[in-house]
Structure formats: structure tokens, C-alpha cells
């Protein structure tokens, strides 16, 4: 990982109009929120991490510690970098903790009404100059921004999972997003050691517009009996040279997130080719969400994980 560890705040080169980001807030302490907090803290930024559940916060701090230990063992960071980074993170269930933040990145559950409710609660607690980003995988940035009091300072910052490892951040401007907000979030992504791809505000942007329909098609192949779970995954690993099979990847992303993205594509583009597979719907209804619930297309209580179909 190529992270620039500095304590200085972030600003684009010699551009006095670009807002400075000296403190970052993160909402949602799930797999993405903990990854975003991890990379921001390692890059020298104070981080305020919030979740509705204290247990999610405790789990996120423990996961960040374990993931940083792995980086220490690989000589990517030192033990001092790890303890300094963890010391920069404040975990809270109280939105008042965001008072000093210059940017708050929302990484709560992929549901539009959840995100809009989060913004309604957040806005009274942040400075007028504070920018707001959403890590949404698919929902319209323009629509989310319009639900806030600051559409000009609202932007999409789509990190990839796992955040400390994956190099890309998609940056998505809503129709109202102003240039300083765009420049500041680009500068932040680069400071975190990431490469940016700028996507237009269309459903699911670039990566998930292409990736998630492929996953949905793999679930259809399973549903129609074209192949078993291991056959589909090894066919795509060995036949298309993908590092993970599509069903393994779906479990890794979270089946609820995959389904939400398909629903956004289906509704947003009004095209039947994005119809979510009924088997994906059934797994989500069963609460089989993949790795995060220990069961999806594989059962993760078994070693090695056992296919569930
Ligand atoms: P997750 O289920 O692991 O975590 C979501 C967290 O949000 C949970 O801890 C939950 O308690 C919290 N939460 C729910 N409602 C909340 C609220 N009202 N206020 C504060 N916290 C709340 O989900 P995730 O995989 O981390 O996904 C989070 C976001 O990141 C989604 O928008 C998702 O689409 C996006 N995303 C996910 C991936 C991925 O591979 N999983 C990749 C890129 C982006």
C-alpha cells in the first residue's frame, strides 16, 4: 500500500479556494466505514466514526487493529504508525461529535431512506463549510445531495472493498456539486494513496454498473441449474481469470448490497435486463447476506467454507 503519512491537512496544490480537510467524519461502522476510517487515520487525519450500534463501533475498532497488525507484519507500516492511527479515531454514537469535521463520509446501509434520514440527523451538527460525501454504490448523488441543505458541497466518494487494499476511488459529482468540493475530495483520495476515476451520476456509476449485473447473472446461472456454486466460481476464476468467483464476490460485498444495487439499476434505467434474480431476493429475505452473517452462497462456519447449493 502506498500511503503518505503526514499530519498536515489536505488541500489541492496551490489552490486557495480548495477547502482544507483537517478532520474527517465517517457514518456507518460496517465493512466500508471501518476501511475508510482505517485509511484516513493512517494518512494522519483525525477521524470521528459513528454508528447507531455501539457493538458495530467496538467491532470496527477491533477489525481495524487486526488489519493494521497485518500491515505491520508485512512491513507496510510500523507498530508506531498503527498506534498513532488508532489514537486518531474517535468512535461515537452521538452526531455532536462531527462538529469540527471538514468532510463527513456517509457509509451506512445501501438504502435511500436510511441515507436521507442520516443526513437529516447529521446536518444540524456540522459546520456550514463542512462537505458531505456518500460512499453509496449506486444511488443518485444529485438526489441525495438535494435532500441536504448543501447540494454544492455534496459529492459521491465510492471506495472499493477492502478499502486498505483496493486502489480505486470513484468520484461522482451531482449536478449541483461545486468545483472546490470536487477538488478537495480528489486531493483527499490521492493523499490516501488511491487512484481516482471520475464517473457521471448514472445508476451504479462505472464499477457496479458492470460488476453487479455480472454477479446477478451468476446467480441466475445457479438458479437455472446451469452450474453449482463451486462450478460457477471456478469457471469464472479459471476461465475468465477473475481473482474471485462471482458468488464468492457477492458474499464478500454483501448480498443485501448487491440486491439494492440491482434494484437501483432496474428502477433507474427502466430496463428488464437489470431484473434482480429471485434467488438473490430469497437469500436476502432469509437473512443470508454473505460473509457478514456467516452464510450466503457459502457457509463460513465451515473450514473451508462450504457451498450452500
Ligand atoms: P454494512 O452492512 O457492513 O455496514 C453498514 C453499517 O451502517 C452498519 O454498521 C449499520 O449499523 C450502520 N447503519 C445503518 N443505519 C445507520 C444509521 N441510520 N446511522 C448510522 N449507521 C447506520 O455495509 P457496507 O458494506 O459497509 O456498506 C456501506 C455502504 O458502502 C453502502 O452504501 C454500500 O453500498 C457501500 N459500499 C459497499 C461496498 C461493499 O463491497 N460492501 C463497496 C463499496 C461501497
Ligand 1 lined by 85 (C-beta under 6 Å) = no
Residues 215, 173 within the same domain: no
Ligand 1 lined by 51 (C-beta under 6 Å) = yes
Residues 17, 118 within the same domain: yes
Span from the CA of 226 to the centroid of ligand 1 (angstroms): 32
Ligand 1 lined by 29 (C-beta under 6 Å) = yes
Residues 71, 186 within the same domain: yes
User: What's the confidence (pLDDT) of residue 226?
Assistant: 98
Ligand 1 lined by 208 (C-beta under 6 Å) = no
Pocket test for ligand 1, best of 26, 27, 32, 56 (most atoms within 8 A of CB): 32
Residues 122, 150 within the same domain: yes
The domain boundary, picked from 160, 178, 199, lies at: 199
What are the distances in angstroms from CA 18 to CA 121, 200, 276, 288?
26, 21, 41, 44
33, 49 Cβ separation under 8 angstroms: yes
Cβ within 8 Å of residue 68, ≥6 positions away: 38, 42, 77, 81, 82, 85, 86
Residues 27, 146 within the same domain: yes
Alpha-carbon distance 244 to 251, whole Å?
A: 11
User: What's the confidence (pLDDT) of residue 16?
Assistant: 54
Which grid coordinates are listed for 75? Answer: 512491513
Pocket test for ligand 1, best of 161, 168, 257, 293 (most atoms within 8 A of CB): 257
Span from the CA of 31 to the centroid of ligand 1 (angstroms): 7
Residues 192, 212 within the same domain: no
Spans of the chain, pLDDT less than 50: 1-8, 12-14
Alpha-carbon distance 292 to 151, whole Å?
A: 33
Residues 252, 272 within the same domain: yes
Alpha-carbon distance 5 to 71, whole Å?
A: 14
Residues 44, 184 within the same domain: yes
User: What's the confidence (pLDDT) of residue 4?
Assistant: 41
Ligand 1 lined by 32 (C-beta under 6 Å) = yes
Alpha-carbon distance 128 to 191, whole Å?
A: 24
Residues 9, 83 within the same domain: yes
Span from the CA of 28 to the centroid of ligand 1 (angstroms): 6
Residues 191, 228 within the same domain: no
Measured from the Cα of 114, ligand 1's closest atom is 18
5, 86 Cβ separation under 8 angstroms: no
170, 209 Cβ separation under 8 angstroms: no
What are the distances in angstroms from CA 309 to CA 177, 182, 219, 289, 297?
45, 45, 11, 15, 7
User: What's the confidence (pLDDT) of residue 1?
Assistant: 38
238, 193 Cβ separation under 8 angstroms: no
User: What's the confidence (pLDDT) of residue 17?
Assistant: 77
Domain hosting residue 61, numbered range:
2-199
The domain boundary, picked from 149, 177, 199, lies at: 199
Which grid coordinates are listed for 235? Answer: 469457471
Which CATH number goes with the domain that contains 149? 3.40.50.720
Which CATH number goes with the domain that contains 237? 1.10.1040.10
Residues 18, 114 within the same domain: yes
Ligand 1 lined by 253 (C-beta under 6 Å) = yes
Q: Catalytic residues, which ones?
A: 137, 158, 170, 208
User: What's the confidence (pLDDT) of residue 11?
Assistant: 53
Residues 294, 149 within the same domain: no
Span from the CA of 105 to the centroid of ligand 1 (angstroms): 11
Closest among 186, 16, 162, 176 to 103, alpha carbons compared: 186
Strand partners for 198: 171
Pocket test for ligand 1, best of 27, 30, 64, 114 (most atoms within 8 A of CB): 30
Sign of CA dihedral 18, 89, 115, 270: positive
The domain boundary, picked from 199, 216, 250, lies at: 199
Total domains in the fold of the chain? 2
What is the tens place of the pLDDT at every residue in 234-247? Answer: 999 999 999 999 99
Amino acid at each position: 500500500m502506498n500511503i503518505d503519512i503526514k499530519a498536515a491537512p489536505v488541500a489541492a496544490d496551490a489552490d486557495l479556494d480548495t477547502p482544507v480537510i483537517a478532520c474527517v467524519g465517517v457514518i456507518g461502522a460496517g465493512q466500508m466505514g471501518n476501511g475508510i476510517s482505517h485509511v484516513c487515520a493512517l494518512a494522519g487525519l483525525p477521524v470521528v466514526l459513528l454508528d447507531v450500534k455501539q457493538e458495530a463501533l467496538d467491532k470496527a475498532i477491533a477489525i481495524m487493529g487486526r488489519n493494521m497488525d497485518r500491515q505491520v507484519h508485512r512491513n507496510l507500516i510500523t507498530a508506531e504508525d498503527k498506534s498513532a492511527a488508532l489514537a486518531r479515531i474517535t468512535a461515537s454514537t452521538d452526531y455532536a461529535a462531527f462538529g469540527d469535521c471538514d468532510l463527513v463520509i456517509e457509509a451506512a446501509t445501501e438504502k435511500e431512506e436510511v441515507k436521507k434520514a442520516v443526513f437529516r440527523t447529521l446536518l444540524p451538527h456540522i459546520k456550514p463549510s463542512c462537505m458531505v460525501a456518500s460512499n453509496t454504490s449506486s444511488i443518485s448523488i444529485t438526489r441525495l445531495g438535494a435532500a441536504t441543505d448543501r447540494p454544492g458541497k455534496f459529492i459521491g466518494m465510492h471506495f472499493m472493498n477492502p478499502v486498505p487494499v483496493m486502489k480505486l476511488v470513484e468520484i461522482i459529482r451531482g449536478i449541483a456539486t461545486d468545483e472546490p468540493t470536487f477538488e478537495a475530495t480528489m486531493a483527499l483520495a490521492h493523499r490516501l494513496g488511491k487512484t481516482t476515476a471520475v464517473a457521471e451520476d448514472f445508476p451504479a456509476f462505472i464499477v457496479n454498473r458492470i460488476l453487479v449485473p455480472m454477479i446477478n447473472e451468476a446467480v441466475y446461472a445457479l438458479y437455472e441449474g446451469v452450474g453449482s456454486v463451486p462450478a460457477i466460481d471456478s469457471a469464472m476464476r479459471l476461465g475468465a481469470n477473475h481473482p474471485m468467483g462471482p458468488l464468492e464476490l457477492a458474499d464478500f460485498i454483501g448480498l443485501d448490497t448487491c440486491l439494492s444495487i440491482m434494484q437501483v439499476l432496474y428502477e433507474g434505467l427502466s430496463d428488464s435486463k437489470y431484473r434482480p434474480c429471485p434467488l438473490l431476493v430469497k437469500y436476502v429475505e432469509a437473512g443470508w447476506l454473505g460473509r457478514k452473517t456467516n452464510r450466503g452462497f457459502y457457509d463460513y462456519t465451515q473450514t473451508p467454507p462450504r457451498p450452500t447449493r
